[in-house]
Structure 1
Amino acid sequence: MIAIEEKGDLLEVSVLGELALPDYRKLEQAVRRELKQLPKVKLLLDVRGMTGFTLDVAWEEIKFTRSHAHDFRRIAVVTPDQWAPWLSWVSAAFTDAEVMLFEDPRAAEAWLQERK
């Protein structure tokens, strides 16, 4: 299951259980909606409740991230240690956004709201 909340230029996304393709498509649609109004999006991705993802999600993530490599300003990922290596690889390989991993969602939100 995926929950998405749109807050201005910030998308807050929480994943619970296994992330499947229909849920990932909802995230893609939310990003596209935001990009119609803004040049770049900030993303808060909370995967603390995620138990895994399907193979088709992994492939879709690579395709989507590559096609939107310049559309994210910052991505804050709230994650337990188990997802950190995979998320770091994906973000470094396919996007030029600033990406930070956090254990505390409040710290992630604060970082997203910082001005450069």
Structure 2
Amino acid sequence: MITTDIMPERVEMRAYGTVTLSDCKAFEEASNYRVLFNRPIDLLLDLRSMTGYSLDVAIEEWRYARAHPSDFRRIAVLTDDQFVTWGAWFSQFVVDADIRIFETERAARRWLDDNSLLEESGSTLH
């Protein structure tokens, strides 16, 4: 299950349990809506409570990233899972966004909210 919050320049998504293909499609719809009016946007992806996802979700995520290489400016990923970190690392090859991994929501929000903190703590994937 996911929850999605659409803000003026950002989409925030929180995942709980196992993420399904329908969850993935709901997130894409929310992101596409925001991108229509304000491009590029930032993403806050809170994956700390995600317990897994299926192969079809991984394929859809890769397809979506390839179809939207310039739609995102910064992507903050909240996780402590090494596989999710690796997935984010691979995503940087198909999107133009600055992708950072954070362990705390406070640090992620601070980085997204303040343009002067682009070098703030958070694991950069470059």
When normalised by structure 2's length, the TM-score is 0.87
Deviation by residue 1:45-66 (Cα, 9 ceiling, x = unmatched): 0000001111111111111000
The match for 2:73 is: 73
When normalised by structure 1's length, the TM-score is 0.94
CA contact (8 A) 2:88 2:99 kept: no
The match for 1:88 is: 89
In 2, the alpha carbon distance for the partners of 1:51 and 1:88 equals 19
- Let me know the Cα RMSD of the aligned residues: 1.0
Consecutive aligned runs of 4 or more in structure 1 exceeding 2 Å deviation = none
Mapping 1:1-116, distance limit 5 Å: 1-82=1-82, 83-89=84-90, 91-116=91-116
SS state at 2:107 partner: helix
SS state at 1:52 partner: strand
Q: For residue 88 of structure 2, what is the amino acid of its counterpart? A: L
Gaps of 5+ in 2: 117-126
Deviation by residue 1:82-107 (Cα, 9 ceiling, x = unmatched): 32122222x22211100000000110
In 2, the alpha carbon distance for the partners of 1:106 and 1:30 equals 23
Q: For residue 102 of structure 1, what is the amino acid of its counterpart? A: F
Q: Which has the higher helix share?
A: 1
In 1, the alpha carbon distance for the partners of 2:35 and 2:11 equals 11
In 2, the alpha carbon distance for the partners of 1:58 and 1:81 equals 15
In 1, the alpha carbon distance for the partners of 2:9 and 2:113 equals 10
In 2, the alpha carbon distance for the partners of 1:18 and 1:38 equals 30
CA contact (8 A) 2:19 2:52 kept: yes
In 2, the alpha carbon distance for the partners of 1:68 and 1:39 equals 11
